[in-house]
């Protein structure tokens, strides 16, 4: 590749200044949030991710594929040669349509499956629909998550606690269980954990617990399915600039300084997760299973 065709994201530069640093303006949103209302708008790789064919012929299902890390993974997978099905809430249809077009523009099949993964029956339908539309399944990315900041356990309702576990833990269990019979040797499962798994913030009591569950789930399942030739890993992001944050995931004062306490003094952009999700989905990571890979910018508690 000549220097004229290398995207800016891949040229040598200072990671401290590669993307916007805080302070950011106040920007409260209602859940689930809209990436186009964020300031600055996140980079999911729409213009910056360039593929090299590392996932040619693969078929992937990604939950939470309309925005954030899921959107970045969907774009990257398509540009690496995979057909991609994404799941998202019906209220996120506009953002999801953008992702579907980006997958199609990469020359790959795109499947949109809206629905609420907090319901077991839908999780089963999601997997069956993705398998039918894609003609199989090679990569499962359990990425969708619920995060709501509460300063005190006294403010944390049973309804919120239950929904956080339903979306972050139960759905991962239901979807993985439904997908496993369709996975052949060489298939991969990638779960999105968090730095909160092992370094929890005081205001994310329920969310941090679910992410710790995901780490244990990943390591246990990896041992179960290794003899089937299926690998299971997790990615543990630090503070990433996604719609999850201004729509209740963090208090507004923390949104304004989001990522400032990391060694790199800024939040990560979703596209900066893409290479890790591609690596774990590709045959290049054939000896990696049961691992939790951090991508945190040198995170301290946030």
Considering only CA atoms, which of 260, 259, 263, 261 is closest in space to residue 298?
263
Question: How many residues in total does the chain contain?
Answer: 302
277 is catalytic: no
Q: Residue 55 in contact with residue 80, Cβ under 8 Å? A: yes
d(CA 131, CA 117): 17
Tracing tokens 């244990």 back to the chain, one arrives at 216
Considering only CA atoms, which of 301, 89, 70, 54 is closest in space to residue 202?
301
In sequence order, the 6+-apart residues with CB closer than 8 A to the CB of 121 are none
Q: Residue 235 in contact with residue 193, Cβ under 8 Å? A: yes
Catalytic residue among 49, 207, 277, 302: 207
User: Half-sphere exposure of residue 200, counting CA atoms within 13 Å on the CB side?
Assistant: 17
Considering only CA atoms, which of 37, 56, 101, 62 is closest in space to residue 241?
37
Which of the residues are catalytic? 207
């Amino acid at each position: 590749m000549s220097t004229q065709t290398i995207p800016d994201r891949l040229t040598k530069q200072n990671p401290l200044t590669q993307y916007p640093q805080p302070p950011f303006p106040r920007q409260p949103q209602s859940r689930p949030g809209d990436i186009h209302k964020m300031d600055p708008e996140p980079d999911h790789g729409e213009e910056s991710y360039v593929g090299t064919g590392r996932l040619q012929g693969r078929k992937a299902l990604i939950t939470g594929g309309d925005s954030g890390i899921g959107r970045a993974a969907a774009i990257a997978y398509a540009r690496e040669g995979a057909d991609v099905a994404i799941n998202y809430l019906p209220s996120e249809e506009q953002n999801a349509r953008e992702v579907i077009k980006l997958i199609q523009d990469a020359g790959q099949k795109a499947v949109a499956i809206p629905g609420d993964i907090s319901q077991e029956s839908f999780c089963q339908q999601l997997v069956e629909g993705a398998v039918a539309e894609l003609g199989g399944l090679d990569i499962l990315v359990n990425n969708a998550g619920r995060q709501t900041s509460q300063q005190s356990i006294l403010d944390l309702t049973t309804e919120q606690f239950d929904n956080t576990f339903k979306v972050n833990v139960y759905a991962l269990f239901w979807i993985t269980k439904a997908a496993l019979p369709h996975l052949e040797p060489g298939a991969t499962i990638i779960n999105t954990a968090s730095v909160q798994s092992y370094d929890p913030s005081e205001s994310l009591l329920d969310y941090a617990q679910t992410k710790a569950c995901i780490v244990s789930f990943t390591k246990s399942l990896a041992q179960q399915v290794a003899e089937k030739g299926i690998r299971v890993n997790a990615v543990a992001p630090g503070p990433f600039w996604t719609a999850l944050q201004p729509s209740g995931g963090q208090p507004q004062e923390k949104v304004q300084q989001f990522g400032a306490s990391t060694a790199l003094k800024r939040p990560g952009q979703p596209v900066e997760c893409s290479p890790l999700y591609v690596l774990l989905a590709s045959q290049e990571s054939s000896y990696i299973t049961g691992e939790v890979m951090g991508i945190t910018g040198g995170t301290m508690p946030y």
